[in-house]
Amino acid sequence: MQKITPTLWFDDQAEEAARFYTSLFKNSRIVEANHYGDSGPGKPGSVMVVTFELDGQRYSAFNGGPEFRFTEAISLYVDCSSQEEVDDLWSRLTADGGQESQCGWLKDKFGLSWQIIPKELTDLLSDPDGAKAGRVMQAMMGMGKIEVQALREAAAG
């Protein structure tokens, strides 16, 4: 069991979000759900906390009410192995009210920020040829969803 578990605060969509997130990644599951009792503060019987795993990493989703909202100060970084994985996650996470941003960032329909980044981007950005890495950085800065082929072209000059 991991020692530290990130907890995500939702108004009342914790269970919906956990089900959605676990549908996106292999090796993911709902671990358990705890419900509010008669003493509240939530409606008795409604979900209070959902514990779930995304690709083996444990998270907690808490229905705490509307007091707090997500900001870009927290995001989930996904290291993607291919353009196909980027495309699939980007499409699914921006569906139903999600919002595209720039440089591989997006917000899902719950307002949580994600970075959907192909491994090849980090490889190209760390190239010892500073001019090559600079061209890749410039190309990335003009993108919403990261496009690997355009990065390769920028790297090649």
Handedness of CA 60, 113, 72, 137 (dihedral sign): positive
3-state DSSP assignment of residue 58: strand
Per-residue model confidence (pLDDT) at position 42:
87
CATH of residue 3's domain is: 3.30.720.100
Per-residue model confidence (pLDDT) at position 3:
96
Per-residue model confidence (pLDDT) at position 80:
98
Per-residue model confidence (pLDDT) at position 96:
95
User: Mean pLDDT in the chain?
Assistant: 97
Beta-carbon count within 10 A of 146 CB:
24
Average pLDDT over residues 68-84: 97
Whether pLDDT at 46 is above 90:
yes
Whether 96 and 156 share a structural domain: yes
Whether 154 and 112 share a structural domain: yes
Domain of 44 in residue numbering reads as: 1-68
Whether 60 and 75 share a structural domain: no
CATH of residue 137's domain is: 3.10.180.10
**Contacts by 22-31, CB closer than 8 A, 24 or more apart:** 22/52, 22/53, 22/54, 24/54, 24/89, 24/92, 24/93, 25/54, 25/55, 26/55, 27/53, 27/55, 27/56, 28/52, 28/53, 28/54, 28/55, 29/53, 31/58
Per-residue model confidence (pLDDT) at position 70:
97
Cis status of the peptide bond prior to 66, with omega within 30 of 0: no
Start-to-end CA distance of the chain, whole Å, equals 47
Average pLDDT over residues 51-75: 96
The residue from 15, 33, 68 where one domain ends is: 68
Q: What is the pLDDT of residues 94-119, one digit of tens each?
A: 999 999 999 999 999 999 999 999 99
CA 70 to chain centre: 12
Per-residue model confidence (pLDDT) at position 1:
73
Kindly state the helix (H) or strand (E) to which residue 114 belongs, with its residue range: strand 113-118
Per-residue model confidence (pLDDT) at position 40:
81
Phi, psi angle pair for 42, to nearest 5°: -80, 170
The residue from 68, 84, 104 where one domain ends is: 68
Specify the pTM.
0.94
The answer to whether residues 119 and 77 touch, using CB atoms and an 8 Å cutoff, is no
The tally of domains found in the chain comes to 2
- Of 7-16, 38-47, 111-120, the least confident: 38-47
Per-residue model confidence (pLDDT) at position 148:
98
Q: Using CA atoms, how far apart are residues 43 and 133, in angstroms rounded to an integer?
A: 53
Q: Which residues pair with 62 in a beta bridge?
A: 9, 49
pLDDT-derived band of residue 132, with 50, 70 and 90 as boundaries?
Answer: very high
Whether 91 and 131 share a structural domain: yes
